Structure 1
C-alpha cells in the first residue's frame, strides 16, 4: 500500500523555521529576542525528536502545527512593524507574564520556598497531605495573591481573572444540610489552588529585572533594529482596475473604491520604533512584575511599580541653598504669631466683666 503524501513538504517547514528565527532576531528587546529564539527552536525540536510514527505523520496534527506556526510568524512580523498589541504580547511572553515562561518562573519561586533545614523539613512531613483536611497552601502563594489583589493596576493591565478568596471556599453544609464529603472538599481545594496558579504573576530573576529597569532608565543603550525588507510589489492583469472587468471585480470583492480610510488599521496601526514608544511598553511590563524582598521577620513581601510616572510634589535642595532661601523665616514666624495673639489688658478685663454680667 502506497504511503500517502505529507500535507507539507520538508522544504516548507524549513522555510517556516528560518522565517520565525529571522523575525525573532529583529525584535527591539534583548530579552524578547533570546526568549522567542529559544521558544521556536524548542517547538521544532520537540516535533523532530518525536519517535512515534503515527504522531509524526498525523495529517490533522500537522495541519494544526502549521497553522500555529503561521500564526506566530504573523505576530512576530506585526511586532517588528511596531504594532503595539502584538509587540506587547511578545514582551509579556518574554518577561514571563504569560505562557510557558510564567509557569517556569512560578515553579522556580515555589522551589525556592522549599524547606532549607531539617526542622522545616520535619514540619513539612508532619503536615497533612496536599488538598487533605488541615492542608494549607504555601505562605508565599497567599502573600503574593494578597499583594496582587491589592494592586488595581494588575487587574487593569494583566487581563487575567482575579481570585478574591485567600483560602478554598468550602461551605459548611451541602444542599441537603449535611456535612460536605471529603472528596468534594478535596476537589474544591484542588480547583482553588489551580485557579490561583493560573493568575499569579511571579517575580523576574534579578538579571532580567536589571535589564528591564536599565532599558527604562536609559542606563542600557538602545537603538531600533535594522530590518531587512523585501519588495512585495506584484502586478497581474487580473487585478488591473483600469479595465472594466477589473473595476467590477474590485467593487464586488472589496466594495466601492474609497480613499483615506482606516480599514487596514482596524486591529491597530504600525508605529515608528522610538525610545519613547518602547519605554511606554516597558513601563507597562514593569508594572506587572512584583519586586520581592524580606522583612525583619524573614517573610517574603512584594512591591509593584507604577505604569505611569508619579508626579513629585517636592524638590530636593542642598543645605546651603535651603539656608539662603529660608534664612530668618523662624524669626518672622515668631513675630507673626505674636501679632496674631489676642492683646492683654483692660479691654479683655472689661469684656470678661461684661460676660459675667
Structure 2
C-alpha cells in the first residue's frame, strides 16, 4: 500500500516545472512522451504571459501536479484519466488525432483529383459559399463512426454513437413546423450540428506503432521493460528536529474543525500528502489507494487499448481497413479433478439427413 508523502511546495514557476517533469517520469514509458511534451510546451508558451495570466497558469499547474502525484501513488481513477489524455481519448491529443480523420487527404491520383474538383465546381455553380463542413471528409468520418458503433466500446469517456447520427437524412426533417420545405441555410446548419456531434463522440485512431505497443502490453507479449520505474526515496534533512512545525491553533479557533482537517481526510490525502495526527489509532490509510503491479498495469493499459483503433487505406484506395483493440475470450482450463469428464468424450453423431446435430 502506497503512503502519501509531503514534498516542499514549489515556490516559483521553474521549481513547479521541475516537479511536474519529475512526476511525469514515473508514468509508463508508452504514455510518458506526450505528457512530458505537453508539460514542456505549456511552460514555454506561458513564459511571456502577463501577471494575471501567469497566476492562472500557475494555479492550474499546481492542480495538475497534485493529480499526477495522486495517480502515481495509487489512485487508479486519476491514473486512468491521465492515460486517456496520453493516448488521445480526451483532451488536446484527441483533437489532433481527429484532424487526421475529418480533413480530406491530399489527392494523389487523377481520379481523386477530378472527383474533388467536380464537387467544388458543383458548389460554386449552386452559388453557395464554402464552409468548414466542405473541408471535412464526411465519407471517411461516417465509415469510422459506423465502425466504432459496431465495435461496442466499453467504458468509453464519450457518449455512444447512434445509428441515426451517421444517417442525417433520417435525423433532419425535410419540412418545418408549418409543413413547408426546410430553408437551405437551416438545413445546412442542422447538418453541420449532426456531424459535429458525431466527431465529438469518436475515439480517433492511433498511429500503428503505438497501437501495436498497447496490444503487446494488453496481451502479455510485451518485451523489454515497459513498467514505470520505482519512485526514488525523498531526501530527508539531517536535522529533523529543526523542521517540526508548530501547531496552528489560530486556524482551529476561527474555522470549523472539518475545514482545517480537510487536507488530511482519507479522500484527500493522496492529493495533499497531509498526515492525520489527531486520530487516536494512528494515521489512517487513504481511500482508493492501490499498489501498482504488472497485472494492474496490464489491465489499465488493456482497457485503454480496447478504446483505440488503427485506420489504413485499403489497396487501390477504395475504403478503409479499421481494426479495434479487442482481447480474445480465453476460457479458463478445467481443473485436474474435472478433467475426467472431458477425457474419452464421444463425438456427437451426425444426422443422416443433413440437419442440425442434436445435443
TM-score of the superposition, structure 2-length normalised? 0.69
Which structure's relative contact order is higher, taking Cα pairs within 8 Å and 6+ residues apart?
Answer: 2
Aligned to 2:172: 170
2:247 equivalent in structure 1: 238
Is residue 308–residue 324 contact of structure 2 (8 Å, CA) maintained in 1? yes
Q: 1:179 aligns with which of 168, 181, 202?
A: 181
- Matches of 1:120 and 1:252, distance apart in 2: 65
Distance 1:143 1:250, change over 3 A: same
Is 1:125 aligned to 2:124, yes or no? Answer: no
CA distance in 2, matches of 1:208, 1:304: 13
Instruction: Please state how far the C-alpha of 1:264 moved relative to its aligned partner.
Output: 3.8
CA apart distance, 1:235: 3.8
Q: Among 306, 316, 325, which residue is 1:305 paired with?
A: 325
Measure the CA separation in 2 of the matches of 1:139 and 1:78: 42
Alignment-derived partner of residue 354 in structure 1: none
Could you tell me whether the CA contact under 8 Å between 1:105 and 1:202 is conserved in 2? yes
- C-alpha distance 13-136 of structure 1, shift in aligned 2 (>3 A): closer
> Which digits, 9 at most, give the CA deviation of each residue in 1:33-75, with x for residues without a partner?
1111100011111123x5xxxxx2251x233212211111112
Aligned 8 A contact 1:132 1:186 in 2: no
Is the aligned partner of 1:219 residue 2:227? Answer: no
The answer to whether the 8 Å contact 1:251/1:257 transfers is no
* Matched length: 297
What is the rounded CA distance, in whole Å, between the counterparts of 1:185 and 1:41 in structure 2?
44
Number of the residue aligned with 2:89? 97
Instruction: Tell me the residue number matched to 2:40.
Output: 41
Deviation at 1:259, TM superposition (A): 5.0
Note closer, same or farther for the CA distance 1:218–1:65 as it changes in structure 2 (3 Å cut).
Answer: same
2: CA distance between counterparts of 1:134 and 1:21? 41
1:190 and 1:94 map into 2 onto residues whose CA distance is 29
CA distances 1:171-206 after superposition (whole Å, capped 9, x unpaired): 111123222222211211222222222111121111
CA RMSD of aligned residues (A): 4.0
1:275 CA drift (Å): 0.6
- Aligned equivalents of 2:296, 2:58: Cα separation in 1: 32
Q: CA deviation at 1:137?
A: 5.0
Higher-Rg structure is 1
Whole-angstrom distance in 2 between the partners of 1:63 and 1:135: 38
Cα distance in 2, alignment partners of residues 178 and 136 from structure 1: 30
Are 1:57 and 2:66 an aligned pair? no
CA deviation string 1:107-134 (max 9, x = no partner)? 2244574432122112112215556999
- In structure 2, stretches of 5+ residues that fail to align are 1-9, 124-129, 263-277, 335-342, 353-359
Judged with a 3 Å threshold, the aligned counterparts in structure 2 of structure 1 residues 32 and 172 are, in CA distance, closer, same or farther, namely same
Structure 1 unaligned runs (5+)?
Answer: 1-9, 51-55, 316-324, 338-357
Mapped contact 1:113–1:140 kept (Cα < 8 A): no
Closer, same or farther: CA 253–313 of 1 in aligned 2, 3 Å: closer
TM-score scaled by length of structure 1: 0.70
Of the structure 1 ranges 106-115 and 93-102, higher mean CA displacement relative to structure 2 is found in 106-115
Q: Matches of 1:109 and 1:15 in 2, distance apart?
A: 39
Equivalent residue number for residue 194 of structure 1: 196
Deviation at 1:228, TM superposition (A): 2.4
Deviation (angstroms), 1:237 = 3.7
1:15-94 map, 5 Å = 15-27=15-27, 29-48=28-47, 50=48, 56-59=49-52, 61-94=53-86
Greater helix share, structure number = 1
Q: CA deviation at 1:229?
A: 3.8
Question: Would the alpha carbon gap of residues 287 and 294 (structure 1) be closer, same or farther in structure 2, given more than 3 Å must change?
Answer: same
